[in-house]
Amino acid sequence: MTLTRKPLSRRSILRSGAAGGLVLATPTIFTSRAWSAGYLNEPMGDTVTLGFNVPQTGAYADEGADELRAYQLAVKHLNGEGDGGMLNTFSSKALGGNGVNGKKVAFVTGDTQTKSDAARASAKRMIEKDGAVMITGGSSSGVAIAVQSLCQEAGVIFMAGLTHSNDTTGKDRRANGFRHFFNTEMSGAALAPVLKNAYGEGRKVYHLTADYTWGWSQEGSIQKYTEPFGWETVAAVRTPVGAGDYSQYITPILNSGADTLVLNHYGKDMVNSLSQAVQFGLRDKEVNGKPFVIVVPLFSRLMAQGAGDAIKGIFGSTNWHWSLQDAGSQAFVKSFGQEYGFPPSQAAHTCYVQALLYADAAQRAGTFMPSAVGAALEGFEFDGLGNGPTLYRAADHQCFKDVLVVKGKENPSSQFDLLEVVEITPRAQVEYPADMLGGELGSYNNGV
Amino acid sequence: MDVLLLQLLNGLDKGGAYALIALGLTLIFGTLGVVNFAHGALFMLGAFCAVSFNKLITLQKITIDPTKTTAWGSPLEVRTPYAEAMFGDFGIWIVNYSVPVSILLAIPVMLLVGFVMERGLIKHFYNRPHADQILVTFGLAIVLQEIIKAIFGANPLPQTAPDAVRGAADIGAMLGLQAGAIVYPWWRMVYLLFAAGIIAGVFAFLQFTTFGMVVRAGMADRETVGLLGINIERRFTIVFAIAAVVAGLAGVMYTPILPPDYHIGMDFLVLSFVVVVVGGMGSLPGAVAAGFLLGILQSFASMNEVKEILPGIDQIIIYLVAVVILLVRPRGLMGRRGVMEN
Amino acid sequence: MSTTPTSSRDLLMFAVFAVAVLTMPFWLAPIGAGYPDLLQKFAIYGLFATGFNLLFGLTGYLSFGHAAFLGVGSYTAVWSFKLLGMNPVPAVILAVVTSGVFAMAIGFVSLRRSGIYFSILTLAFAQMSYNLAYSVLTPITNGETGLRVLRTDPRLFDAASQGDAPLVSTLFGVEMNGYPGFYFCAVLLIIGFFIAQRIFRSPFGTMLRAVKSNQNRMNYTGLNPRPYTLAAFVISGMYAGLAGALLCITDPLAGAERMQWTASGEVVLMTILGGMGTLLGPILGAGLIKYFENIFSAFNDQTLHSIFGFLPDFLETPVVAITGLFVGEGWHLTLGVLFMLIVIFLPGGIMEGFSRIGRVFRRSSGAKGSHQTAPAE
């Protein structure tokens, strides 16, 4: 047992203050950093390292690649290269294109594989080996929640990438974690009025729901916001994640008496279930004297590409879309398009914005210490980043901003022009009390 | 009643797909005794034959319209498909029928892939332990998959069925039952017929040709056939190539049902192994029977009425049935003694 | 068991192994692997593969569902944290016992069949566990998000004393993340290796090898091989459960994807890659795969440019472009190529490579004993 007790972790070393002799027992790459006192991985040289943890393999690899492109663009802009992108439209002018706090921004990358274990291993490498002060990215809520709690335990800031489940800033919220992306609650609140206008009151709804936390959360919020105007749930069927062929779940819809299908699926599941539902002729049907309709609560342009023609005319919600006309969005689309030759996805947008927001907060705080950066983000009101005036709410570290309701375009002009913005739901309409979803932030961890 | 009939039809359709995927795998198992973890990758390659063919014929002539610009400032590009520009109506027709027509591309490509794979790699592993076969074919599957990912990206690429069979058929109305109760997509029925046709073709080939007879003899007792002076090696190459074609065609025709991505093979790999083993090692009829059995049971297990009684049953039904069958019948439905039992 | 020449060689091998494991932070640092998380993973997956090899390497029974035991061990450990407290000792004991019981049940059923039928039975059980853990069993497993320790958990023995302290496993006041966590895993790996070595050399091990080489002959001698294979199955399930518990001790989170077939496949690949039936091989295989997963996936264009920065520009760009295919998002490709190369040129895995090198050396030094080549058998 003595063996297990000999070398202590940095944290214990600093805590006990009796570091002298024991440091010899740990390898040199480690001790060099163990002495930076204030907080974990405090950058001592002239660079500061950020960790970009995105899916590079698996179903979301393309989304991850787009996130990485956005991060690299953000780093360029922060270091004063390129055209500056949204730095020029951002309401806060703290950043001057000369790095952050006088340090040049460097980054490390890793593969989450969209698996909690792999994502945490990758984030740990960035923290333990590469000295990252902040971890960001990801394309699924399970991974976001897993990495967020890791960052809380380790003592670095986590800026969530694409994660749409309520839990990320709801019951699993953490002080060190921040989310710019919207959630199922906001999707429901934004989508419901549009659905009511388009499809009328009093419909019979059939839910196909991916059988995991995000799916349930999405199903719940659609029900919550559509029931008041008489959309009644006929059945809510859980489908296994990654089922591929959904035919056995689609056939029972035909005789269920439902006139509306809500697909609480994301990514590949959405692509498959939607295109198969359309093949089954659901959209040509007429039930209860009404045309049968399909709704996909969470859209992504990348995945819309995968569903092809099936997406046309279908309502959904999205965090951001490149066709927005405000100055911030246009600046971002321009600089991203010139760099890579195609417009950015919503995943790219949220990641770019998160990187900028972190850098700005660190600049305003004058340090990278998680508690100070967090304090600078809490209650921060900003504009010019593509979603209108936005608030980083202090109580749950969730951004509140306008939500886009979109519809699959009937006549796309290019392979990227698949969604049209139907309505920009104002922020006031999607706000909810911070204690509604439960959860507790706890206190900041600076890792020392 | 209507509901059950519809679910049965759907089960048959799923079963056809399972059987077709398992068919090639069981051929390789049975004749060559090789555990081929790259079988899913062959299915995937087939699917990407369809994708490539479609890409090829929808290649677009790009002209730049200098008067308009994109949202990011570069001049707008106007695209017109070459096929349409050069061949007119025929071009439009071939774009419409790109999935079935790409079979013509898939057959030679998959024959070649199968031939190269067997001659270049698999051949050297006939006498190696199954563990080595697993490792090498799994490695190959990853390599093929990553190559496809590097070329086509990771996103699913939708392929459309020809217009004539794109929608769904109201079978209920055709049978004189209530209209709208039994509706089934045309393309899935095409797939079922296609699967049945291929399966019948493979059976006939093995049953009624001399070549097939030798292969069947080789399946039963390889050593003796070799002693009779028959060059079984060359026939094995052909069997492998046929299996590759069967897997590839299953992939081609599946693309309108499931938009293919580079990972589609891995998603089917485990399932196809389960089907083959439940059917019994070394038995082609067994694999087909197991395919239909699992498809139909899966379809019924997903009905809400069943799920209410046994929550989650639809998620595990395939594995549960596999366990029950293997415990009741030691060698699956129709397996032969001694094949892959040690 | 008696003092034969081999037992002194075993002792030497064990001592070298123990020293090598404990000094990993030093000699792995130059290749970028000397940080706690990866070191922990080396030790944990080494243990997992060692246990798997006890079944597969000795009896030849290829289980395709060992990840189920890893998952059961993980969930048990986290529940032990949640209910009893953050001490790793009860977590380890409970995880090993639970996974042992689980392995007993699955093994009892699956071992009624052999060959590929056995493989598919184990696969089916593991996939059922995975699918249920992901969905219906969410109250127990917390589904997709994964089971974690929360502040509101009862933690009978230390809830009061811990207060606001971070929720990590703690042994006698030492937090089990970072280097202490690695040494905890390393010690268990060394113990696990020792037990495996004893099993290899014992009459029980000989019996298991007899199962592999010829079961029929064994039946004729009147011995029933089932109890032996079942024992091997349960022991290897316990190793997997231990590995699962260690994953949670170093990082208190248990996710369902640990039970997926890909995870079962991974341990099979580790074992074959390193050399099945050898003592060291599976551990080397595990290390290699984890190294690729964590280090090769982390390269990006920026790091490549800094590596190849010494080349002239006209060379640097194509070199970076080509190597870029194999690292970062292409790390799977490297792994696939590696699998093929090793199995084509080194049937018998990495250990075969070592014994070939050893043979070359012995031949050149003119020493005798070339018939005693397999070093770890």
Select the residue from B326, B329, B333 to test the C interface by mutation, using most C Cβ atoms within 10 A: B326
Structure tokens at A208: 């196909």
pLDDT tens for residues C317-333?
Answer: 888 888 877 877 788 89
Residue A87 has pLDDT above 80, yes or no: yes
Nearest to C332 among B146, B273, B342 (CB): B146
Instruction: Kindly report the nearest CA distance between residue B52 and chain C, in angstroms.
Output: 21
Provide the residue ranges of all domains of chain B, joining segments of one domain with +: 2-328
- Which positions in chain A touch C184 (Cβ < 8 Å)? 4
Q: Is B184 on the interface with A (CB under 8 A)?
A: yes
- Which positions in chain C touch B152 (Cβ < 8 Å)? none
Select the residue from A245, A285, A321 to test the B interface by mutation, using most B Cβ atoms within 10 A: A245
pLDDT score of C54:
94
Number of Cβ within 10 Å of residue C30's Cβ equals 10
Structure tokens at A217: 């959360």
B185/A251 Cβ within 8 A: no
Confidence of residue A336 (pLDDT cuts 50, 70, 90): very high
Q: What is the rounded CA–CA span in Å between residue A42 and residue A366?
A: 13
Strands (E), A284-372: 286-287, 290-291, 293-298, 315-318
pLDDT score of B93:
83
DSSP character string of B278-321: HH-TT-HHHHHHHHHHHHHHHHHHTSHHHHHHSTTHHHHHHHHH
Inter-residue contact B183 to B172 (CB < 8 Å) = yes
Mention every residue, 6+ apart, whose C-beta is less than 8 A from residue A442: A152, A174, A175, C151, C164
Q: Is A309 on the interface with B (CB under 8 A)?
A: yes
Mention every residue, 6+ apart, whose C-beta is less than 8 A from residue A144: A138, A160, A161, A163, A165, A168, A179
pLDDT score of A75:
95
- Which positions in chain A touch C167 (Cβ < 8 Å)? 153
Select the residue from B117, B146, B325 to test the C interface by mutation, using most C Cβ atoms within 10 A: B146
- Which positions in chain A touch C267 (Cβ < 8 Å)? none
Partnered with residue C171 across adjacent β-strands are: C174
pLDDT tens for residues A52-66?
Answer: 999 988 878 889 999
The answer to whether the Cα torsion of A257, A262, A266, A270 is positive or negative is positive
pLDDT score of C74:
95
Residue B334 has pLDDT above 90, yes or no: no
% of residues, chain A, pLDDT over 70 = 92
pLDDT score of B183:
84
DSSP character string of C32-88: T--SHHHHHHHHHHHHHHHHHHHHHHHH----S-THHHHHHHHHHHHHHHHHT-S-H
Pairing of strands A204-210, A232-239: parallel
Residue B61: what are its φ and ψ, rounded to 5°? -80, 125
Instruction: Kindly report the nearest CA distance between residue A255 and chain B, in angstroms.
Output: 6
Higher-pLDDT residue of B41, C311: B41
Number of Cβ within 10 Å of residue A255's Cβ equals 16
Partnered with residue B321 across adjacent β-strands are: none
CA nearest neighbour of C88 among C238, C234, C252: C252
Nearest to A120 among C22, C32, C253 (CB): C253
C112 within some domain: yes
Q: What is the rounded CA–CA span in Å between residue A209 and residue A184?
A: 13
Instruction: Kindly report the nearest CA distance between residue A205 and chain B, in angstroms.
Output: 15
Mean pLDDT, all residues of chain C = 86
DSSP character string of A367-434: S--HHHHHHHHTTEEE--SSSSSEEE-TTT-BEE--EEEEEE-SS-SSTT--EEEEEEE-HHHH---T
Nearest to A116 among C151, C253, C302 (CB): C253
pLDDT score of C34:
87
Instruction: Kindly report the nearest CA distance between residue C281 and chain A, in angstroms.
Output: 23
Q: What is the rounded CA–CA span in Å between residue A290 and residue A13?
A: 70
Of A196-210, B71-85, C121-135, C136-150, least confident by mean pLDDT is: B71-85
Inter-residue contact B261 to B154 (CB < 8 Å) = yes
CA nearest neighbour of B323 among C112, A244, C215, C232: C112
* Average of per-residue pLDDT across A260-279: 91
pLDDT score of C242:
96
| Burial tier of A275 (Cβ tally within 10 Å: 0-12, 13-18, 19+) | buried
In chain C, where does DSSP find H-type helix? 5-22, 24-27, 36-59, 67-83, 88-110, 115-134, 138-141, 159-162, 178-201, 203-213, 215-220, 226-250, 261-274, 281-295, 301-307, 313-324, 331-345, 349-365
Residue B226 has pLDDT above 80, yes or no: no
Q: What is the rounded CA–CA span in Å between residue B117 and residue B38?
A: 10
Looking at the structure of chain C, the number of domains it has is 1
- The SS3 call for residue A222 is helix
Q: What is the rounded CA–CA span in Å between residue B16 and residue B22?
A: 10
Residue B37 has pLDDT above 70, yes or no: yes
Mention every residue, 6+ apart, whose C-beta is less than 8 A from residue C310: none
- Which positions in chain A touch B181 (Cβ < 8 Å)? 254-255
Q: Is B91 on the interface with A (CB under 8 A)?
A: no
Q: What is the rounded CA–CA span in Å between residue C50 and residue C270?
A: 10
- Which positions in chain A touch C292 (Cβ < 8 Å)? none
* Average of per-residue pLDDT across A91-112: 92
Instruction: Kindly report the nearest CA distance between residue A5 and chain C, in angstroms.
Output: 6
Select the residue from A41, A120, A125 to test the C interface by mutation, using most C Cβ atoms within 10 A: A125
The CATH number of residue C68's host domain is 1.10.3470
Instruction: Kindly report the nearest CA distance between residue C133 and chain B, in angstroms.
Output: 10
pLDDT score of C162:
56
Inter-residue contact A92 to A382 (CB < 8 Å) = yes
C60 within some domain: yes
Of A126-135, A184-193, A268-277, C164-173, least confident by mean pLDDT is: C164-173
Q: What is the rounded CA–CA span in Å between residue C223 and residue B48?
A: 53
Instruction: Kindly report the nearest CA distance between residue C183 and chain A, in angstroms.
Output: 5
C363 within some domain: no
Inter-residue contact C232 to C57 (CB < 8 Å) = no
pLDDT score of A281:
87
- Which positions in chain A touch C257 (Cβ < 8 Å)? 115-117
Q: What is the rounded CA–CA span in Å between residue A103 and residue A46?
A: 5
Select the residue from B270, B275, B298, B340 to test the C interface by mutation, using most C Cβ atoms within 10 A: B270
Amino acid, res. C305: H
Instruction: Kindly report the nearest CA distance between residue C317 and chain A, in angstroms.
Output: 18
Provide the residue ranges of all domains of chain A, joining segments of one domain with +: 2-34, 47-182+323-401, 185-318
Amino acid, res. A20: G
Structure tokens at B319: 């594995």
Residue A36 has pLDDT above 60, yes or no: no
Number of Cβ within 10 Å of residue A102's Cβ equals 10
Structure tokens at B264: 């589609």
C297/A111 Cβ within 8 A: yes
- Per CATH, domain A47-182+323-401 is 3.90.25.10: no
* Average of per-residue pLDDT across A293-312: 88
Interface of B with A in 260-299 (CB under 8 A): 261, 263, 267-268, 298-299
C348 within some domain: no
Inter-residue contact A82 to A88 (CB < 8 Å) = no
Confidence of residue B245 (pLDDT cuts 50, 70, 90): very high
- Which positions in chain A touch C32 (Cβ < 8 Å)? 129
Q: How many CB pairs under 8 A join A and C?
A: 154
pLDDT score of C375:
41
pLDDT tens for residues A355-371?
Answer: 999 999 999 999 999 99
Of C45-54, C138-147, C182-191, C244-253, least confident by mean pLDDT is: C138-147
* Average of per-residue pLDDT across B227-234: 76
pLDDT score of C159:
62
Higher-pLDDT residue of A163, B78: A163
Q: Is B70 on the interface with A (CB under 8 A)?
A: yes
- The SS3 call for residue A177 is strand
Its CATH class, for the domain covering A185-318, is alpha beta
Confidence of residue B4 (pLDDT cuts 50, 70, 90): confident
pLDDT score of C6:
65
C245 within some domain: yes
Select the residue from A9, A130, A139, A168 to test the C interface by mutation, using most C Cβ atoms within 10 A: A9
Instruction: Quote ipTM for the complex.
Output: 0.87
C71 within some domain: yes
Higher-pLDDT residue of C301, A393: A393
In A17-60, where does DSSP find H-type helix? 28-34
Question: Distance from first CA to last CA of chain A, Å, rounded?
Answer: 26
pLDDT score of A11:
40
A343/B71 Cβ within 8 A: yes
Q: Is B315 on the interface with C (CB under 8 A)?
A: yes
pLDDT score of A207:
95
Confidence of residue B145 (pLDDT cuts 50, 70, 90): very high
Q: What is the rounded CA–CA span in Å between residue C292 and residue A127?
A: 18
- Which positions in chain C touch A30 (Cβ < 8 Å)? 35
Mention every residue, 6+ apart, whose C-beta is less than 8 A from residue A35: none
Nearest to A146 among C35, C253, C328 (CB): C253
Q: What is the rounded CA–CA span in Å between residue A35 and residue C149?
A: 30
Confidence of residue C5 (pLDDT cuts 50, 70, 90): low
Residue A10 has pLDDT above 50, yes or no: no
Higher-pLDDT residue of A413, C111: C111
pLDDT score of B212:
86
A109/C255 Cβ within 8 A: no
* Average of per-residue pLDDT across A72-81: 94
Higher-pLDDT residue of A18, C127: C127
Of A113-127, B232-246, C274-288, C312-326, least confident by mean pLDDT is: C312-326
Confidence of residue B335 (pLDDT cuts 50, 70, 90): confident
Number of Cβ within 10 Å of residue B65's Cβ equals 10
Q: What is the rounded CA–CA span in Å between residue C278 and residue C287?
A: 15
Confidence of residue A351 (pLDDT cuts 50, 70, 90): very high
Pairing of strands A157-160, A177-179: parallel
Inter-residue contact A158 to A148 (CB < 8 Å) = yes
Nearest to A252 among B3, B74, B161 (CB): B3
Residue A272 has pLDDT above 70, yes or no: yes
- Which positions in chain C touch A117 (Cβ < 8 Å)? 247, 253, 255, 257-258
pLDDT score of A13:
36
Of A18-27, A50-59, A63-72, B143-152, least confident by mean pLDDT is: A18-27
Select the residue from B128, B140, B143, B262 to test the C interface by mutation, using most C Cβ atoms within 10 A: B143
pLDDT tens for residues C268-296?
Answer: 999 999 998 899 999 999 999 999 988 88
Chains that touch A (3 or more CB pairs under 8 A): B, C
Residue C299 has pLDDT above 60, yes or no: yes
% of residues, chain C, pLDDT over 90 = 44
Nearest to C329 among A57, A118, A121 (CB): A57
C184 within some domain: yes
Q: What is the rounded CA–CA span in Å between residue B321 and residue B299?
A: 13
Domain containing C245 equals 5-261
- Which positions in chain A touch B11 (Cβ < 8 Å)? 248
Confidence of residue C214 (pLDDT cuts 50, 70, 90): confident
H or E element at residue B85: helix B82-87
* Average of per-residue pLDDT across A249-272: 90
Q: Which residue of C has its CA nearest to B311?
A: C136
Nearest to C113 among B132, B135, B326 (CB): B326
* Average of per-residue pLDDT across C239-245: 96
Q: Is C297 on the interface with B (CB under 8 A)?
A: no
Residue A56: what are its φ and ψ, rounded to 5°? -110, -15
Mean pLDDT, all residues of chain A = 87
Amino acid, res. A428: A
